[in-house]
Structures are given as structure tokens and as C-alpha cells.
Structure 1
Amino acid sequence: MQPGCVPWPPDEAARHRRDGYWTDEPLDTLLRRSAAEHGDRTAVVGGGARMTYAELDARADDLARGLLALGLARGDRIVVHLPNRPEFVIVTFALLRIGALPVYALPAHRLREIGHLCAFSGARGYVVPDRYLGHDYRADARGLLARPDIDLPHVLVAGDAQEFTALDAVEAAGRDRSGEPLPFAGPADDAALFLLSGGTTGLPKLIPRTHNDYTYNARASAEVCGFDRDTVYLAALPAAHNFALACPGVLGTLAVGGTVVLPDDPSPDEALRLIAEERVTATALVPSLLGLWLDAQEWLPEDVSSLRLVQVGGAKPDAATAARVRPVLGCALQQVFGMAEGLLNLTRADDPEDIVLTTQGRPLSPADEVRVVDDEGHDVPPGAVGQLLTRGPYTLRGYYRLPEHNARTFNEGWYRTGDLVRRLPSGHLVVEGRIKEVINRAGEKVSAEEVEEQLAAHPAVRQAAVVGEPDPVLGERIAAFVVLEQGLGCPSAAEAGEFLRARGLAGFKVPDRLTAIGSLPLTAIGKVDRKALLGAATPPQPVPPAG
């Protein structure tokens, strides 16, 4: 196992192998095997290109050899900051084939988050587009190179590289080395890639997913969802998200010989158009995006008759929105409750309608262990609300390089998720909230503490508190309350948003409303009373859309 990663105990690893959950196949085998079986079938559509499995496999090999020629090697961490374009898939498999570890950043992340990822992981490479949705990612790269705590030898750019290295040139250099053998990428119980976790610390924690556990994650969820070679999967969410990457997502679709469609524009209009043009059969959405799709389809109907399945996850949808899926889109709904750390719960095709509409599914694997406990760690009866603990063949045993945090979060392999749930007698879970102060805005996890810290840096702000308010579209919206320095006026919502973005905060973390108050309400023990803040009846100030 890579230094800084926590392995499974040997006896549990042996059991997962014996029971067939771990097959000791490298993760890149998902593509290699499908290329052998479905070489002429379309693997990826996106960016104006269509690639067969044979072409995708060959391009991944070429890029892998090009990366080796640059000096990248097994164990190197590479921050991948790409949108949903074919390059994302090619880069992923190329890195897997040389044993380098992708560290997946979201397209909306900016310099604050990316700087943390590069510094904390010790990244030796950063892969970006030239521009995406109006943002110049090369400017982020320049900001990283200016930091004394980051040593970043390689910046690879998909598109106009300017002073950096063009991804196309690296692939072309590897093509010139065609036929050279690729090195051993590492044992299958070693880390294959890093996903990101949100949390109360604000900056993301790194989640090591191994070849064994993530291959199982992708294959098992594809089986539960009925994916096969005729599946056409639209990656409507960022592919760097665990949900869209392997639940079953991009990797699960490629594992069974299906087709992945990558929209360059994430808008509902573009997504619905692609469903009609590519005859998409399955996709995954967060509740806020699902609501936009439903509204758009009612006003601007496209031919979405090919759709068979819409997964909804990342947050709990309201029952009214869930009930609209079949009448409006004409397909089945599947609720998904999972986490990048591992445990995945899904409703099944044969579940009764009320279970599908009102629960967030049951565990993916027969080997998943789930406990629902009270504050003292005692199991609560079925139907009672408690804290969710879990362990299993694809749930991590510890975050990367965080031993003190791991000691608090893991106990005898049980991962304390921070979620509050009810477990029904059927085994299905109903999500009731979170213990930690994390705001779930449109499926993006936002740390209240991080936003508070950044707001408090404003010269006019003495104190700040941030809470999540229920919102019918976003699930939760970010409400900020500020106590001002004496004699200074309150910044406008627009000014606050500009200030936070200038400090490198991702746009989706900018508060949706900002209110000045005389003092922050406190609980009896002196903590900010967030429940009292939620009851504040001051009118909101509109904040420009996050970007």
C-alpha cells in the first residue's frame, strides 16, 4: 500500500478475495477487457469526437508511454482538473497504466482547493483544459507555480498550452514509442486513485480507492443497475465525482461495453438534446438538476423515449420531485445514497414504488455491514434515527495522511459517516441529515467553517456564521450572517461574492444570501446557535450566480 494509505487487515482482505469481491485485477482492466471484447463498438462520445473501444485503449497506451517519457512513474500523484471531455477518460486510464495516481479535482474548484490538493498530495503533475465555461485554468497553474510550498514539474494542458506542455504532444510522443512495454502498475490491493471528501475542515480530504475495491464498486453497481453493452450513459454530473465516475457511471459503463456520452455544456437543454440524439438510456443527477430537467422537458420537450433509468443522489430529493420522473421523463427512478469513502445504497428495479420514492436505497453488497447507533454508540431499533456506521469490501479504512482524524473516525474498521439515518425493516435507509456542519448545496458538500473563515477575512467583517437553509431547488442554500466591524458598512452580496472568489474560493461555496446582524446567537455552552440563525426572518440579499 502507498505510504500514507491505510490497508485492510490481512484476514479481511483474504475474506474479500475468497468471497469473490476482490479479483486482484488492475482497474485499467475494465477498459482493456472491453477493448478486446467490443473493439469496434463506440466507447466514448464527446467534444465533437467518437471513439471506439479499440481507439480509446490505444490512445490510453500512447499517453501512458508519453507520460513515462516525461519522467512520471508509479506512485506519482497527478491532480486531474478536467471537465467531462474524452481527455478525462484517456488521462485516467493512462495514469492507471503507469501506476501513477489521479487526484480528481472538480471543474468548479479554484486556486484555494487546487493549491491544497497539490501541496498535500505532493503532486508531480497538474492536468487542465485551456479554458472551460469562461475560466482560464492556465492562470490557476501559474498561481500554483508561484507558491513556494508546491513543486510541480509538469503542467499538461488539453488545448492551447501556451508556456505549458500540450497533452496532445505527450500522446504523440508516446505514439512514437508504440510497442514498448508498459511497466507493472502495482498490486491490486494498492491505491489506484484519490477521490475527494468534503467535511468540517473545509479543504478536501483525500480518499484512496484501491484497484480491488473500486473495480468491485464499478462492476457491482453496473450489475445492480442492469447496465450492459446496450447502455448509453450520459455523464451529466462531473465525472470526477464518485457518483458519475463509478456508481456505475463512466467506469461501470465501460466495464460492460456500453457507451459514455460526455456533454461539454452541463445545461439541461444540452443534456436533453444529447439524450434525443444519442439515444441515451441512463444518467445520474442531483435533486436540483433533476428539477431543472423536469421543468425543461415540460416546456421544451425533447424525444427522451430512449431513457430507461435516472439515478438521483448527492442529496435527498423531495417526494414530489421524485414522483414526477416517470410521468415527465417516462423512465424509472433510482435513488442512490453513497459516499466517495465507499458505502453505496441503491433502490432496486423490483422495489415497491413507495420504497423508491421515499427511501435512499439499501447497500450494494451482501458484505456491506451497517450499524445505526445513538450518541453512546448503542444500536438503535429499526425505524429510529441514529448515526450511520459502516464497513465492507469497498469502504476505506482511513483517509490519506490523516492519522489523528482517522483515529476519531474509524473504530475496528467501522467508518463513522456523519450521516443521520433511519433503517427500515427491509434494510432500506432514509437519510435524515448530518451530524457535521456540512451544507449540501445541489449535491456539492460545502463546509460552513471554511466559508466562515474566508468571510471573516473581509475587512468589514468581525464575525461570520454560515448555515444551510432548506431550498426546493438546491436542497440547501448557503446563508451567511455577519457581524460588522464598528463603523463599517456591510458589503453588498455582489462584493462579498467577488471577495471570496478573489481569495480562491470555488463559486459553488459563495453564500446565496448575506445578512448583517448585531451579534451571533450562542447556545448555553457558548457555541454559535445555528438553529436560531435558521429562524432569522431577515430578507435575503441576492447573490450573483456562482461561477
Structure 2
Amino acid sequence: MPVTSGVHGFVPFPPQRAAQYSAAGYWSGRTVDSLLRQAAGTWPDRIAVVDPLTSHTYSELDELADRAGAGFARMGIAPGERVLLQLPNSCRFAIALFGLLRAGAIPVMCLPGHRLAELTHFAKVSDAVALVTVDKAGGFDYRSMAKQLVAAHPRLRHVVVDGDAGPFTSWSNLPEGDPPPVVVDSRSPALLLVSGGTTGTPKLIPRTHDDYVYNATASAELCRLTEDDVYLVSLPAAHNFPLACPGILGAISAGAQIVFNADPSPEAAFATIDRHRVTVTALVPALAKLWAQACEWEPVTPKTLRLLQVGGSKLEPEEARQVRSALTPGLQQVFGMAEGLLNFTRLDDAVELLEHTQGRPLSPADELRIVDAAGERVAPGEEGELLVRGPYTFNGYFCAERDNERCFDPDGFYRSGDLVRQRDDGYLVVTGRVKDVICRCGETISAGDLEEQLLSHPAIWSAAAVPLPDPYLGEKICAAVVFAGPPMTLAELNGYLDQRGVATHARPDVLVAMPSLPTTPIGKIDKKAIVRQLCEDARA
């Protein structure tokens, strides 16, 4: 029996800490796909997953995952090999995810909005051998992108397409047979999440079976998920938040029903919540605010939500009050990261905590340090950068030795780049960030990476990507540009970025032509001055 372990480029937990987490019971030695196996044995006839076209019970989902696993294995995908998984929210997403896990493969969790630039990077870094995708979604032809990707990466020898496969393998034509007898080391990578791209191109985050099972099940327990709950997936399912905080995996561990919805607009989401009597879901602040506002005009509004998680960026107190008033008093603020640490407000917390903090750590074993620019711990209650290590926080990006040297301190604490204050009661208040990023609708975009793309255009002499406040997106992306000749339009610029394969969520919302970009006394572009000037111009 093949065993998936010792994956090149993976940084494991240090042996001493791993032993401590196992001895303390945080790690159970279970694999991620065992969550489904156990659920199928416990609740075989309960509905597990639902989308607008189909539904499956837990026993059916388990059987379909086995079939998919057998198909992937018979195609030649070996245990430990990486597979790009890019599917929209649907039952097929769950089947493909668990099928890859059953084959012993390591899914790379790509988002539907990722385009050729990101997938090329992911394929190269992960050394992926296959891609599982869809034919078309949201007006985009994923098969065309797959052709370009395969041409550039000969190692990518298999493409499986849900729908009209064209030149590739159709999902319906996966080889049949028995599931492969794969033994998986629970301390090895279960899957690779995608970072927010806070420092250049997005990086890959290995999450082990041990740490991710704990991540999902501990979150489910904290959120009091039961078999009577109905969890709505409105955010892209490959995100850490709707996948395991508690998300899909946590819902499965509790026997809850999972409803997939690819359209998070209030009209579509409210109808879905009403139809399936949804009790729990997760949103980014921009969507939460939009849903709250939409309660004023939508004929059908949420009546069954007992818990609404909001995370991805900071929710301001006034916004929290609006959400609690319009949608459900059961607001839960979540401050976390795909790299690991999760902070939650608790279900019984006082209103002051729900509205004014971003929660406290999930696990008693989470270790936090809050430090100044010199790396020294700040006084209690003072602002500083958050550093963390613990039983579900990773120990290094995948195949990124140079990044890891920069992102971890000598004691193995991950430098989050988030600025926080920790109160006497242990709750965190997020105050800002160290890294040069823009948080647009819950997606973290690297300003430096976008600037590199902008400067590749021959008509652009100088460029700065800056965040501008936006009531719906949280922050919108502004490209402040000095043109080398005649200026171009925003549509022309985004058309160019589209040709370069830049993700849809990482393209500018605003283009501002400037005669020159302001600089600091040491000659660096002064982005604060740009934002200040643009905000003043908008108020004038």
C-alpha cells in the first residue's frame, strides 16, 4: 500500500511540538476524508450536500467519492501527487475534493476567479500532474485556459472537466474500478490552500490531515453545529473560511446539511436560505453589509439564521450592529488566516465583544506574540504585529524556502503581518496591517504583485496600487498611474491584465492618471499621500 509522506517542499511540524499536540488530544491521527466516512456510517440517509441541480445523502456522497478516487487513481494519479482543483460551488466540488483525498492525491485549492497567471504559478510550485475544472462558469471558458496551461506545463498530463470536456477527459468518463488501498500519514499534507498573495504571487499553504481535522472539528464544536443545522456555502468553497472554519468539513463532522450556492447576491441567497431553512453561513464584511441593507427591499429575507460568521477583513462596530439588527442577533466575528490561527467571538459573548472585537483564539494551545517593528514584545494592550504558532498553524509555505526565512521568527512563530491589540480578556482588536496589501471583498491582493503587472505595459511609466475605502467592497483597488504617453482607459487596462491572466478579483476598480507620484523623504512612493489626495479630491 502506498503511503503519502515525506513530500518534497513540505515543512513538517517540529517533532517535539507534534508529540505534544498528539498527547494533548488536539491531533487524533485521522485523515480529512475520514470525516466523510464516519458521517456516512453515522447518518447514511441524511442529506449531505445540495446544489440547484442535485442532492446526495451521506452514503451516496461517500460512494461517489470512492468512485472518483478510483477514477483518479486509474488515470495514473499517484498518492502524494498534486492536483489543481478549480470548481465552482456545487456538489461536484465536494465529490472531487474527497475523491482526490481517497486517491491519496493532494488537492491545490484554486479559486474560480484565478486565471492563467495564478494557475501557471500554482502548477509550477506544486509540480501538479493534473487539473480538475469545469467547462464554463460565470461567462468564462476554463477549457481554453486549460489548453494554455497544459501547453506550458508538460507535467500536467491529465485534465478532467465537469461538463463539455472538449479535448480533455469528461468527469462522466472517469475510469471505473475499486478505490485504491492508500495509507496516508496524518502528519503529511492533506491539501494546499492558496495564500492571499500578501507579498507577491500567492503562495501555497500545506495543511496536514491532523491540523486540518482539528481546525474543522474544533470550529464545529465552538459553533455548536449539529445534525439539525443547514450550512450555506456562499463564499468560494475552496477558501479556508467556508471550507473548514467550520465550513464544509466541520458541517460533515456534525452530520449537518450543506447547501452550495454560486450566487451570493441577496436575491439568490435569501431565496436559498428560505427554501432550505439555512441556519449557519459565513460572509465577508462587504457581503454582510449588502445583505443587511437588502433586507429593506427584498421581499424574502432570512428568518432561520441562528449564526452568521463574518470574517476576511475587519467588521466595524456600526456595521456589526446593522448586521445583528437586520439578519440575526447571532453574529460571530472571525479573524483568521489560511495559514492557521483562528479567532472567534463566542456564541454567548456580550454584545460589546460581538461588536467591538474580532474574537479570541480557537485553541488553548495557540501561542500568540505581539511585537513591535524591532521584534520586541509590546506592553499589554498596545498595538503590534501578531505572531503565532500552534496545533493548526502551518510551519512553512510549500517549496518557498526564501519566503519562509522571512515569514517565521527563530522560534517558529509565523509573522502574520496583521496589526492587533490584545485586551486583558484575551480578545483581539485588529488595527491594521504591516504588509502592503489591499483587502477587497475579503480577498487579500498584493499591491506589489499588481504593480509589477501594471509596469509591464509599455504605456505606463510609474504605478502604485492603493486601497480606497468603499462601502460595499471594504476597499477597492485603485491604480495610480503615470503614463509614458497617451492615457488608457480602465477597460483597456483590465483587458490587458485579463490577457496576462491576472485573477478577476485582483484587477483595478479605479484608474487615476497622475503627472507624478508623491515620494517620501527617502525617495519611496508615498502611498499614504496618494490615498489622502484621492480621498480629498473625492470630497471636494
**Shorter-chain TM-score above 0.5:** yes
> What residue in structure 2 maps to residue 380 of structure 1?
378
| Distance (Å, rounded) in 1 between the aligned partners of 2:328 and 2:253 | 27
Partner of residue 214 from structure 1, selected from 209, 212, 215: 212
Q: Residue deviations 1:365-407, cap 9 Å, x none?
A: 0000111111122211222110000000000011111112111
Give the 3-state SS of the residue equivalent to 1:160 in structure 2.
Answer: coil
Q: Give the superposition deviation at 1:303.
A: 4.7
> What residue in structure 1 maps to residue 403 of structure 2?
405
> What residue in structure 1 maps to residue 469 of structure 2?
470
> What residue in structure 2 maps to residue 190 of structure 1?
188
Would you say 1:418 and 2:422 are equivalent positions? Answer: no
> What residue in structure 1 maps to residue 488 of structure 2?
491
| Distance (Å, rounded) in 1 between the aligned partners of 2:395 and 2:315 | 29
1:35-434 aligned at under 5 Å gives the runs 35-147=40-152, 149-170=153-174, 173-174=175-176, 177=177, 180=178, 182-411=180-409, 412-434=411-433
Q: Does the 8 Å CA contact 1:130/1:136 hold for their aligned counterparts? A: yes
Would you say 1:526 and 2:523 are equivalent positions? Answer: yes
Residue identity in the other structure for 2:451:
E
Q: Give the superposition deviation at 1:540.
A: 8.6
Q: Does the 8 Å CA contact 2:150/2:157 hold for their aligned counterparts? A: no
Q: Does the 8 Å CA contact 2:49/2:91 hold for their aligned counterparts? A: yes
Q: Does the 8 Å CA contact 2:199/2:435 hold for their aligned counterparts? A: no
| Distance (Å, rounded) in 1 between the aligned partners of 2:337 and 2:430 | 13
| Distance (Å, rounded) in 1 between the aligned partners of 2:118 and 2:154 | 13
Q: Does the 8 Å CA contact 1:276/1:302 hold for their aligned counterparts? A: yes
> What residue in structure 2 maps to residue 7 of structure 1?
12
Q: Give the superposition deviation at 1:181.
A: 5.1
Q: Give the superposition deviation at 1:492.
A: 1.1
| Distance (Å, rounded) in 1 between the aligned partners of 2:11 and 2:476 | 35
Q: Give the superposition deviation at 1:539.
A: 9.1
Q: Give the superposition deviation at 1:326.
A: 2.5
> What residue in structure 2 maps to residue 544 of structure 1?
none
> What residue in structure 1 maps to residue 3 of structure 2?
none
Would you say 1:516 and 2:521 are equivalent positions? Answer: no
| Distance (Å, rounded) in 2 between the aligned partners of 1:113 and 1:382 | 40
| Distance (Å, rounded) in 2 between the aligned partners of 1:532 and 1:272 | 41
TM-score, normalization by structure 1: 0.95
Give the 3-state SS of the residue equivalent to 1:370 in structure 2.
Answer: strand
| Distance (Å, rounded) in 2 between the aligned partners of 1:539 and 1:58 | 60
| Distance (Å, rounded) in 1 between the aligned partners of 2:455 and 2:242 | 34
| Distance (Å, rounded) in 1 between the aligned partners of 2:71 and 2:498 | 35
Q: Give the superposition deviation at 1:267.
A: 2.2
Distance change in 2, residues 1:329/1:119 (3 Å): same
| Distance (Å, rounded) in 1 between the aligned partners of 2:470 and 2:239 | 22
> What residue in structure 2 maps to residue 439 of structure 1?
438
Q: Residue deviations 1:474-527, cap 9 Å, x none?
A: 111111111111xx2110122112111121111211111111112221112221
| Distance (Å, rounded) in 1 between the aligned partners of 2:169 and 2:406 | 42
Residue identity in the other structure for 1:251:
L
Percent identity for Structure 1 against Structure 2 = 50
> What residue in structure 1 maps to residue 481 of structure 2?
482
> What residue in structure 2 maps to residue 545 of structure 1?
none
| Distance (Å, rounded) in 1 between the aligned partners of 2:249 and 2:220 | 9
Residue identity in the other structure for 1:460:
A
Q: Does the 8 Å CA contact 2:289/2:323 hold for their aligned counterparts? A: no
Q: Give the superposition deviation at 1:150.
A: 4.5
Q: Does the 8 Å CA contact 1:233/1:283 hold for their aligned counterparts? A: yes
Residue identity in the other structure for 2:159:
V
Q: Does the 8 Å CA contact 1:374/1:380 hold for their aligned counterparts? A: yes
Residue identity in the other structure for 2:497:
L
Distance change in 2, residues 1:540/1:271 (3 Å): farther
Q: Residue deviations 1:300-335, cap 9 Å, x none?
A: 132522110100000001222210123212341000
Distance change in 2, residues 1:373/1:516 (3 Å): same
Q: Does the 8 Å CA contact 1:515/1:538 hold for their aligned counterparts? A: no
Comparing 102-111 with 328-337, greater Cα deviation is found at: 328-337
Q: Does the 8 Å CA contact 2:345/2:358 hold for their aligned counterparts? A: yes
| Distance (Å, rounded) in 1 between the aligned partners of 2:42 and 2:416 | 39
Give the 3-state SS of the residue equivalent to 1:535 in structure 2.
Answer: helix
> What residue in structure 1 maps to residue 504 of structure 2?
507
Q: Give the superposition deviation at 1:463.
A: 1.0
Can you give the 5+ residue segments of structure 1 that lack an aligned partner in the other structure? 542-547
Q: Does the 8 Å CA contact 1:515/1:540 hold for their aligned counterparts? A: no
Q: Residue deviations 1:32-57, cap 9 Å, x none?
A: 00000000000000141110000000
Q: Does the 8 Å CA contact 1:440/1:446 hold for their aligned counterparts? A: yes
Can you give the 5+ residue segments of structure 2 that lack an aligned partner in the other structure? 1-5
Distance change in 2, residues 1:540/1:238 (3 Å): farther
> What residue in structure 2 maps to residue 453 of structure 1?
452
Q: Does the 8 Å CA contact 2:102/2:179 hold for their aligned counterparts? A: no
Distance change in 2, residues 1:354/1:150 (3 Å): farther
Residue identity in the other structure for 2:196:
G
Q: Does the 8 Å CA contact 2:266/2:291 hold for their aligned counterparts? A: yes
Residue identity in the other structure for 1:430:
V
Q: How many residues end up aligned between the 2 structures?
A: 532
Q: Residue deviations 1:82-137, cap 9 Å, x none?
A: 11011110011111112100001111111111111112211111111111111110
Give the 3-state SS of the residue equivalent to 2:296 in structure 1.
Answer: helix
Q: Give the superposition deviation at 1:537.
A: 3.4
| Distance (Å, rounded) in 2 between the aligned partners of 1:250 and 1:313 | 16
| Distance (Å, rounded) in 2 between the aligned partners of 1:464 and 1:108 | 24
| Distance (Å, rounded) in 2 between the aligned partners of 1:303 and 1:533 | 40
Give the 3-state SS of the residue equivalent to 1:311 in structure 2.
Answer: strand
Q: Give the superposition deviation at 1:538.
A: 7.7
